Chain A
């Protein structure tokens, strides 16, 4: 099977949908002629032309507002916010406009759009260009939120997001852009709201997202080799809708739950999952659910500091081993 990078998978996913549906348009800062700040949209302008692929001013409110107006009146826009941290300057659209228009209008207003944005740490950009902010969006009724961890998921979930009739916030992880993975030829369409079990296990369940998925898998492998601990690893992929069935079924089998979250600790997505498992899977648990997160601090820029604060395979491994008493 051919291998492509996570970066090229973004282009592939958008191109697949723009080819399929002439109503799909794409706008953002430096996304057209320059091909994107992260070079994740190279060639789209050449392939689809300047009417459908457009560079905007540095105006995040205008970008998201325009995407919404276009979506309300029949297009299927994909809008890029260059760094997810910048969601804060156009949060009105994410928090107040996209997700509430349908409800407030009693179902009249439609808002089928995708906001894709580069999320997460690893580039040593410091506290305003490295955050994991998926939880900012997860808390808002009316939004859908996805964060793929592999090239094939990028293509399939992008297609699902574009075809979805609701507003979807699509978090790409900037430290995964260089990652390569197998992506089959032909059209790929995934399903929002489905988690993926990437590794079967019987001793504990590790739930992870985006960059943390690879680290969870690495920790699981070392736990098996070094400590004979058999971990099940779930990639959540979609925070809203949330595939609680897959998570609860896994905990019913392994009896222990660990979440691995890049976001700072308070109100991270793992807290919601732990809460659901505590409510609905309490008697399946043999021990307390444990959250492995970035501490509740702004991210430092320096590599040696950033490396310490993000959950690492070593920290995941140590936490699980101690917790399981191995």
Chain B
């Protein structure tokens, strides 16, 4: 299995302004730090009993969300799972809006009506977070079909976990997208565990997504999902393909979640030392080192770290101070007329 150890070292003398460039690299770093700090804050707030319901953190998986979001342009659409905080934040949704929803406050993205698993911000291209495994792959196909019919240039990107590759909707959607040549990108975040069970115990092949690609006439793409540069470059290629009308991509990103499946899971099923081993290949740490290798000065990195921390701190305080949602929205927006009336 590819790990961070298989990564090519940065070639000596390659400047910061290679194909990715300084501005984009700093953006990739900022995004990853922002996702890391926000998720860590969500966990801390959970320990204080201020995050209610459930929550599924992307700690350790930040490079995938950051790499894809930074490769997107305005108008591209993200379809996320219940593990969707990072993908939502990565599209530019304010931290306060996300933490507010996790804390089920009136300042939340959906004012507490959706909760942690359903983060949606259409103005940022976040077309929903779906909590039924596999449900959003066909939905992303539909958005892509609209783009194809209208000649729109946007691409729909659908993120999901390794466990999703065993549900029917995955296979229906990838086949459908391949047959119709839809501008959609399927991104499998293989964090090695479907929930508590290792993915390798429930598939007859080594790689849950990459090894299925050939069944749908797609290229086998397996990348290090902890390296934001690799993710970003892979994403760019897939976007170019989709925008050229050449159809979907299925990309498997290897990664590892630092926390359990959900807030209730201490992840005791993991072998001793595995987490520590993966933490050596922590995407945020890796990228900070990469910036230094490229000669980015410590104070530039520190400034990014501090400004992100301030956004997360300010958001936390705003959420703590925010009122609960008013109960009169319980019965709004069931139907398009704004209400819930099912009879006259």
A residues within 8 Å of B by Cβ?
25, 51-52, 54, 56-57, 59, 61-75, 77, 92-93, 96-97, 101-110, 112, 141-142, 144, 164-166, 193, 240-245, 276
Contacts and interface: CB of A to CB of B under 8 A. Distances in A.
A59 B343 CA distance: 34
A92 B118 CA distance: 15
Given A57-B175, A240-B342, 12 more contacts: A59-B138, A61-B134, A62-B138, A65-B139, A69-B143, A72-B142, A73-B127, A73-B147, A75-B146, A92-B132, A105-B113, A243-B343
Contact of B137 (A64, A65, A71): A65
B327 interface: no
Contacts of A104: 110, 113-115, 118, 120, 128
B250 interface: no
Given A65-B141, A141-B334, A109 B342 contact: no
16 contacts: A59-B176, A66-B145, A66-B176, A69-B127, A69-B143, A70-B149, A92-B135, A97-B139, A104-B113, A105-B118, A105-B122, A142-B334, A241-B341, A241-B344, A243-B343, A245-B344
Interface stretch (B165-173, B190-198, B237-245, B311-319): B165-173
Contacts of B137: 65
A34 B337 CA distance: 38
Given A105-B118, A108-B122, A77 B128 contact: no
A106 B114 contact: yes
Contact of B143 (A64, A70, A106): A70
Contacts of B130: 97
Contacts, number: 161
A110 B340 CA distance: 15
A142 B335 CA distance: 6
Contacts of A245: 344
Nearest to A242: B343
Interface in B99-132: 109-111, 113-115, 118, 120-122, 127-128, 130, 132
A57 B344 CA distance: 40
A63 to B, nearest CB: 8
Nearest to A112: B336
A200 B146 CA distance: 47
B170 to A, nearest CB: 10
Contacts of B77: 73
Interface residues of B, number: 53
B254 to A, nearest CB: 27
A205 to B, nearest CB: 17
Nearest to B131: A96
A109 B120 CA distance: 8
A52 B137 CA distance: 21
Contacts of A51: 149
Interface in B214-255: none
B139 A68 contact: yes
B135 A96 contact: yes
Nearest to A106: B110
B128 A101 contact: yes
Nearest to B340: A141
A61 B122 contact: no
B146 A69 contact: yes
A108 B119 CA distance: 11
Interface in B305-344: 329, 332-338, 340-344
B179 interface: yes
A78 to B, nearest CB: 13
Contact of B128 (A109, A112, A276): A109
A166 B127 CA distance: 17
Contact of B127 (A66, A109, A165): A109
Given A73-B146, A108-B122, A62 B344 contact: no
B155 to A, nearest CB: 12
Q: A70, A75, A112: which has the most chain B beta carbons within 10 Å?
A: A70
A74 B149 CA distance: 11
A40 to B, nearest CB: 23
Contacts of B343: 241-244, 276
Given A68-B139, A70-B143, A72-B143, A244 B344 contact: yes
Nearest to B169: A61
Contacts of A241: 341-344
A62 B343 CA distance: 31
B141 A69 contact: yes
Nearest to A144: B335
Nearest to A96: B132
Q: A109, A141, A243: which has the most chain B beta carbons within 10 Å?
A: A109
B159 to A, nearest CB: 15
Nearest to A104: B114
A106 B111 contact: yes
B334 A66 contact: no
Contact of A141 (B180, B329, B342, B344): B342
A105 B168 CA distance: 26
A74 B173 CA distance: 20
B187 interface: no
Contact of B172 (A52, A62, A101): A62
B138 A69 contact: yes
B164 interface: no
A85 B68 CA distance: 40
Contacts of A243: 343-344
